[in-house]
Amino acid sequence: MKKGEYALERESEFSWRMDPSGKMRVPGIIYADESLIRDMDDKVFEQLANVASLPGIVQAAYAMPDAHWGYGFPIGGVAAFDPDEGGVVSAGGVGFDISCGVRCLRTGLTVDDIEPHKKKLADQLYKHIPVGVGSTGRIHLNDKGMQAMLRGGARWAVEQGFGNPEDLEHIEERGCMAGADPAEVSDRARKRQQDEMGTLGSGNHYLEVQRVAEIYDRNTAAAFGLQVDDVVVFIHCGSRGLGHQIGTEFLKYMVLAASQHKIELPDRELACAPINSELGQAYLGAMRAGINCALANRQIITHLTREVFADVLPKADLTLLFDVSHNTCKVETHRVQGGERKLYVHRKGATRAFGPGHPEIPETLRAVGQPVLIGGSMGTESHVLVGTEQGADLSFHSACHGAGRAMSRHQATKQWRGRSVVDELAERGIQIRSPSMRGVAEEAPGAYKDVRAVVDAAEKAGLARKVVRLEPHVCVKG
């Protein structure tokens, strides 16, 4: 099959290979079925080839089944770099919303418990949790508080009274990313964030109340504490203005420094710096601080959500299943050509998906594997998957992160009106709350790929295994 100027060789029903050509150092590997491949924008393959051209890349450049055109890296892109071979770190390979991710909370409730209270629950969540462009929360951080938050992440949030110490065991990096350097975060980035903690933001960010509609893997679902008709909460957001500012600033620095490091950029959006360079280390310090900001943000929103449930449905008991990010660069040990190597794994719009037994998985879940949280588009189903052992060799233990856009936001607003989308979903029993009808139109369900096709492809490729399917009942979005 040809996609643009690139020839794809089918390796299996759910795996495709782009052999190195031009300046590519490694092949590109795409995990998807034929239908998803045909519908992917040609730009995805151009961007994947560009990623495969970067110095120090190891094994292959990967695209997940939800891949679509992004900034520099395709969204749904994964690439690992070896610092001892001149490997680079790329701000575009992490993305502007550093550590954007998903958190899943069990509620101890069933769908029958929430059905009579859905409207009130939607109203109170919308009232209590700030959402939308420029939204600010009830927390104001001075410089000392900002530094503590950037170093401590969700641990800092718990120390401030936002949640329980038990939450931390079920958060990636146990709630705090080591190596964060607040000194590398600019005054402008800090200023943007000082009033934004505990806010959802806009775009595709949301808080959704969902019911477990179907179980695929009973043993793993039981280990996750999930049964049919159980109610869970998904929280999807990231590092807000701080992460965006870090990305914006370091992309500029990396473009200017590329020639100094003798890096020939196939695309300015792929600006990068050697991992072992002063600039590379500065970005990693700032990026890790951005990860802590996102972890703290989701922890505060969890506390606010618990307050609403305690008021509307007092018998609820919100416990954290897992929290995992999908815009990061992490140092991980992986098997490559028969030996173990410490690599810098970029995941942009891709979720870490460790398999059973991995030491980074919480002890209570380690025997079955890491939960992989796949959010659908607004008003459509979401999924919980679990990492697999074979995912280590397939994609550095990575999987898809959502449905993936099928059209741009601009195209979506030409096809849908927000009020019509809200009314249509209400007829299906889904309560939507948003400050922006344009934002609703941009995130209309039809603007995204079929999430079930995406997770089916991820499972059949071996990246992760399906555990449960979730259906939405309440959605608060930007």
Based on the residue annotation, tell me whether 410 is a catalytic residue of this protein.
Answer: no
Q: Could you tell me whether strands 206-215 and 464-477 are parallel, antiparallel, or unpaired per DSSP bridges?
A: antiparallel
User: Is the distance from CB of 172 to CB of 72 less than 8 angstroms?
Assistant: no
Q: Could you tell me whether strands 206-215 and 230-237 are parallel, antiparallel, or unpaired per DSSP bridges?
A: antiparallel
Phi/psi of residue 107, each to 5°?
A: -115, -15
CA dist 319 and 192 (Å) reads 31
CA dist 181 and 287 (Å) reads 8
Provide the 3-class DSSP secondary structure of residue 327.
strand
CA dist 241 and 19 (Å) reads 39
CA dist 288 and 281 (Å) reads 11
- Residue-wise over 423-454: b if at least 16 C-beta within 10 A, else e? eebeeeebbbbbbbbebbbbbbbebbbbbebb
Q: Which of 205, 401, 410, 473 is catalytic?
A: 401
CA dist 271 and 96 (Å) reads 13
Residue in the structure block whose two tokens are 């770099």: 81
The three-point CA angle 41-47-53 to 5° equals 155
Would you call 458 exposed, middle or buried from its count of C-beta atoms within 10 A (0-12, 13-18, 19+)? buried
| Residue type, position 37, single letter | I
**Residue 357, number of CB atoms within 10 A of its CB:** 11
Instruction: Provide the annotated active-site residues.
Output: 401
